[in-house]
Amino acid sequence: MLLIPAIDIKGGQCVRLRQGDLTSNITVFNTDPVAQAKHWVDLGAQRLHLVDLDAAKSGKPVNLAVIKKIISEFSDDVEIEIGGGMRTLERVEQVLDFGADYVVIGTAAVKAPGFLHDVCCQFGGSVIVSLDAKDGMVMTDGWTKTTGHSAVDLAQRFEGYGVDAILYTDISRDGMLTGCNVDATVDLARHLSIPVIASGGIRDLEDIRKLLAVEDDGVTMAILGRSLYEGTLDFTEALKLVEESEGSED
C-alpha cells in the first residue's frame, strides 16, 4: 500500500478543504508548500499528490511556479503527481516536462473523453483519472453537477483508453475525517484490472488497516490529506503499519 500525502495549493499556500468547497471552509496549514513537501519527503513519503486548486477552478496554472519548484527539488527522491486544471494537451505536457511522473485528470476526463483519449495516446504511463462520486454517481464541476454515470461504468471505459490508475473519492467524506468509504472503493477496484487510489475521509490507523485488508482487491494506494494536517493520523506510524503488513506477507 502506497500512502501519498496531499498538498493542495491555493494562493501559493498549502490548504485543505471540506467537501471540495473552494469558497469557504478553507484552512491554511502551511504558507510554504515547498517546506511542506520537504516535511513529507523527510518522513519517508514515496509519492506526493499536488493539486493546484486555483487552476482547478479557473483552468489557469496559477500556482505553477510553486509546483515547478517542488518538482525540481524532490522529483529525484519521490514520485510526483499533479492535478488541477489539466484541460489541454499543452498543460499536461508542460508539467510532465517539468519532471512530474503523473498527471491527474478530473472533470475534463468526464466532460471531454476525446481529450482523455488523446492524453493517453501521447502520454501513456503517466495518466491518472480522478472520479469524484456521491452515492456511486460521478460528479463534476467542483462536485456541483451529477453526470448520470456510475463510477464503475466510467472507470471501465477509461481503463479501455489506457489510464494507469483511478483515483476514487467519496465526496460526502472528503475532508470530513469520517472514515474512508472502503466498501465503495473496493467494489470499484473489483471491476477493474488497473489500480485504484482511495481518497476521502481517511482519518486514522484503523482506516489504513481497513485499506490494507483490501489491497489484494486492487486498492493499492491512498491519498492522505486532512488527517495528516490535523494530526488524527501520524504519517510515520501509518508507514510503519504498512511495512509491518508487507513483512507479514513475506
Q: Would the pLDDT of 175 be above 90?
A: no
- The closest of 196, 235, 226 to 19, measured between CA atoms, is 226
Express each pLDDT in 109-125 by its tens digit.
999 999 999 999 999 99
- The closest of 2, 29, 22 to 226, measured between CA atoms, is 29
Q: Does residue 216 have an active-site annotation?
A: no
Q: What is the mean predicted confidence (pLDDT) over 218-224?
A: 97
Phi, then psi, of 229 in degrees rounded to 5 = -75, -30
Q: What is the mean predicted confidence (pLDDT) over 238-248?
A: 92
pLDDT band at 250 (very low <50, low <70, confident <90, very high): low
Catalytic site residue from 52, 132, 170, 207: 132
Q: What is the mean predicted confidence (pLDDT) over 53-70?
A: 88
Express each pLDDT in 13-59 by its tens digit.
999 776 555 555 678 898 999 999 999 999 999 999 999 999 888 77
Q: Does residue 118 have an active-site annotation?
A: no
pLDDT for 28 equals 86
pLDDT for 24 equals 54
pLDDT for 61 equals 79
Catalytic site residue from 8, 52, 101, 170: 8
- How far apart, in whole angstroms, are the C-alpha atoms of residue 81 and residue 126? 9
Q: Is 24 exposed, middle or buried (0-12, 13-18, 19+ CB in 10 A)?
A: exposed
User: pLDDT > 90: what percent of the chain?
Assistant: 74
pLDDT for 129 equals 98
